[in-house]
Structure 1
C-alpha cells in the first residue's frame, strides 16, 4: 500500500466510522438506544477502531516513512560516491597516467645506473598507487548496501568481486541477522570488509580467506576477516604508507567500533571489528 493511500485511510476512517454509526443509530437503533448512550458509544467506537485498524495502519505508515528515508539516504550516498569516483578518475587517475608516460620518455634517455634504478622504483610506486586508485573507483561505483536488499547477498557479492580470478578460496560464515545494524553501519562495515579483502589479495599471498560474523546481544556484533597468508611484522602493519589499514581503522573509530589486527609471520592475518563489548 502506498504512502498516500495510508494517509488517506488514516484521515477518513474515523469520519466514516462516525458517519456509519450515526446512520445506523438513527435508522435502525433509535428506538433501542437512547441519545445519551448513542453519544457515548460514538467516541468509544472511534477509539476501538483506533486501537485495532488504525494502529496497524500507523505502523505501516512508519515503516513506509523509514523505507523512504533509507532510500533517500542511499541515493544521496550513491550520488556522493559517483561524484568522488569522477573526481578520482579525472584528477588523480589521469595525473598518474601522464606521470607514467613521462617515465616512459625518461627511461628512453641515457641515464646512469642510479638514476635508472630510481626510475624503476618510481614506476613501481606509480603502478601501485594507480591500482589503488582504480580499486577505489570501482568500490565507489559499486552499489552501496541497501537495507531492503539481502545483506548476506551483498557480502557474497563483495567477496566474489574482490577475490575473482585471484586463486583465493573464500569461506563466508555470516551469522549476523538483518536489521541489527543501521544502513550507515552496514555501508561502513562493508567498506571495511572490502578493504581487508583487497589487502589480502594484494599482499597476503594467501590461498584461503574467511569472513566470519556473529551477533552479541541484540545490537552488538563481531566481524573477522582471516587469511592463511604470509603474515606481517607489527612494524609493517603500522607503517605510514599502509593507507588501507589507516582507512579501516578510521572508519571503525568513527562508528565507535573496536578495530584490531593480529598478524603472525607465516601463519596469516586476522582483522577484527567489534561493536560494544568489553574490548579486543
Structure 2
C-alpha cells in the first residue's frame, strides 16, 4: 500500500467510523438506546477503531518510511563508494603506473650499476604491491554490498580458491568471527593482511595444503591466520631481501594494535594476527 493512500486512510477512518456509528444508532438502535448512552459510546468506538485499524496503518507507514530511508542510505553509500573508486583509479593508480614507468627508465639509465639496479628493483616491487592493494580497494568499492552477514570475507574465500588452483593445493576456509564484532576499519585491514599472506603463499610456499582461519577469542578479540605446509623459510623472513609483503602485514598489524607472528608449527608455516580481548 502506498504511503499516500495510508495517510488518507488515517485521516478518513475516524470520520467514517463516527458517521457509520451515528447511522446505525439512529436507524437501528434508537428504540433500544438513549441519546445520552449513544453519545457516551461514540468516543469509545472511535478509540477502539483507532487502536486497531489506524494503529496498524501507522505501523505500516513507519515501516515504509524506514525502508525508504534505508534505501536512500544504501544509494548514498553506493554513490560515495563509486566516487572513491573513481578517485583512486584516476589519482593514485595512474600515479603508481607513471612511477613504474619512471623506474623502468631509471633502470635503463643505470646501465650496469648494481646498487642502482637493486634499489630500482626494490622500489618496483614496492610499487607493484601498493598498486595491487589499490586495485583490490577499487574492486571492493565497486562490489555491491551483499545482504549476507559474511559478505566482506567472500573475496578472501575466492582468493584462497584461486591460490589453491594456481599452486594445485588443497584449500580450507574456516571463519567464525561474527560480522558485528569487527569495525569497518578492522575489516579493511584484515582483508589486506590476509590477502598479502595468501599472495606470499602463492609466490613462495610450494605448499600442498593452505588454510585460512578466523575465530573469535571472546570479548571482541580474534585470531586470524594463514597456514600452509610448504617449504617454509630460513632465518628471519621479515629480513629477506626484496620481500616486502610480510613487513607490510606486520606494520599494518602494529598500527591497529594487533599482535603479529610468523613461525613454523608442526611442519607448517603460520602467519598469525590476533587482537587481545577487550
Structure 1 and Structure 2 fold alike (TM over 0.5): yes
Q: Is contact 1:144-1:187 (8 Å) kept?
A: no
For 1:15, the equivalent position in structure 2 comes to 15
Cα distance change on mapping 1:141 and 1:221 into 2, 3 Å: same
Q: Is contact 1:171-1:209 (8 Å) kept?
A: yes
For 1:119, the equivalent position in structure 2 comes to 120
Which deviates the most, 45-54 or 2-11? 2-11
Q: Is contact 1:163-1:197 (8 Å) kept?
A: no
Unaligned runs of 5+ in 1: 250-258, 274-278
Cα distance change on mapping 1:7 and 1:85 into 2, 3 Å: same
For 2:26, the equivalent position in structure 1 comes to 26
For 2:131, the equivalent position in structure 1 comes to 130
What CA RMSD, in Å, does the superposition of the two structures yield over aligned residues? 3.8
1:212 offset after TM fit, Å? 4.1
For 1:35, the equivalent position in structure 2 comes to 35
Q: Is contact 1:96-1:130 (8 Å) kept?
A: yes
Cα distance change on mapping 1:127 and 1:240 into 2, 3 Å: closer
Which deviates the most, 225-234 or 199-208? 225-234
For 1:276, the equivalent position in structure 2 comes to none
Unaligned runs of 5+ in 2: 165-170, 265-269
Cα distance change on mapping 1:99 and 1:9 into 2, 3 Å: same
Q: Whole-Å Cα distance in 2 between the matches of residues 144 and 69 of structure 1?
A: 17
Does 2:164 correspond to 1:163?
Answer: no
Does 2:211 correspond to 1:208?
Answer: yes
Cα distance change on mapping 1:239 and 1:38 into 2, 3 Å: farther
1:82 offset after TM fit, Å? 0.7
Q: How does 1:37-186 map to 2 (within 5 A)?
A: 37-109=37-109, 110-145=111-146, 149-152=147-150, 154-155=151-152, 157-167=154-164, 168-173=171-176
Q: Whole-Å Cα distance in 2 between the matches of residues 102 and 202 of structure 1?
A: 26
Q: Whole-Å Cα distance in 1 between the matches of residues 32 and 127 of structure 2?
A: 92
Q: Is contact 1:237-1:245 (8 Å) kept?
A: no
Aligned length: 251
For 2:227, the equivalent position in structure 1 comes to 228
SS of 2:32's equivalent in the other structure is coil
1:119 offset after TM fit, Å? 0.9
Query: Which digits, 9 at most, give the CA deviation of each residue in 1:162-219, with x for residues without a partner?
Result: 434022431244767xxxx6xxx886675455345424424576811134469x9xxx
